[in-house]
Amino acid sequence: MAKRSLTCIVCPLGCRIEVEMSDGKIYSMKGNACDRGLGYAKEECTSPKRILTTLVRVKGGSMPVTSVKTTKPIPKELVGKVHEALAKISIEAPVEVGRLILSNVLNTGADVVVTRQMPRRPKNGHLSA
């Protein structure tokens, strides 16, 4: 039986949760102060997910890149593949916060959206939106 120790991130308590697993199944969990910790530990050990934040290239922008993120957590094992897909994308300025970059990325149900406004490159010293 394998043991895994996690620090819960659901609330400020930061409980140390000890999980015993075998063949991908959880047999025991202890150390949590609330039920939310059990849910976190179960998901983290069986199907971990992450919100992905990264950058995409911007053509004609005041900066060469802007920040983007997934609208919900995606399976941790797909993070690299989503990075690869986004590395192939370049968007045209101006860019508004919330602009959809990829819909239902890799069939995860998550979209990738812009999180930082990017105006066009300055012309005559002025930024344009």
- Structural domain boundaries enclosing 62: 53-114
Residue 127 has pLDDT above 70, yes or no: no
CA pair distance 109, 100, nearest whole angstrom? 13
Residue 1: the pLDDT is 85
Residue 87 has pLDDT above 70, yes or no: yes
- Judgement on whether residues 57 and 101 belong to the same structural domain of the protein: yes
Residue 123: the pLDDT is 74
Strand order of the β-sheet with 2-7 is 2-7, 16-22, 25-30
CA pair distance 11, 67, nearest whole angstrom? 27
- Judgement on whether residues 74 and 38 belong to the same structural domain of the protein: no
CA atoms within 13 A on the CB side of 44: 18
Question: Does residue 13 fall inside a structural domain?
Answer: yes
Residue 120: the pLDDT is 93
**Number of compact structural domains in the chain:** 2
In a 10 Å sphere around its CB, with 0-12 CB exposed, 13-18 middle and 19+ buried, how is residue 65 labelled? middle
Global pTM reads 0.81
Residue 52 has pLDDT above 70, yes or no: yes
DSSP element (H, E) containing 17: strand 16-22
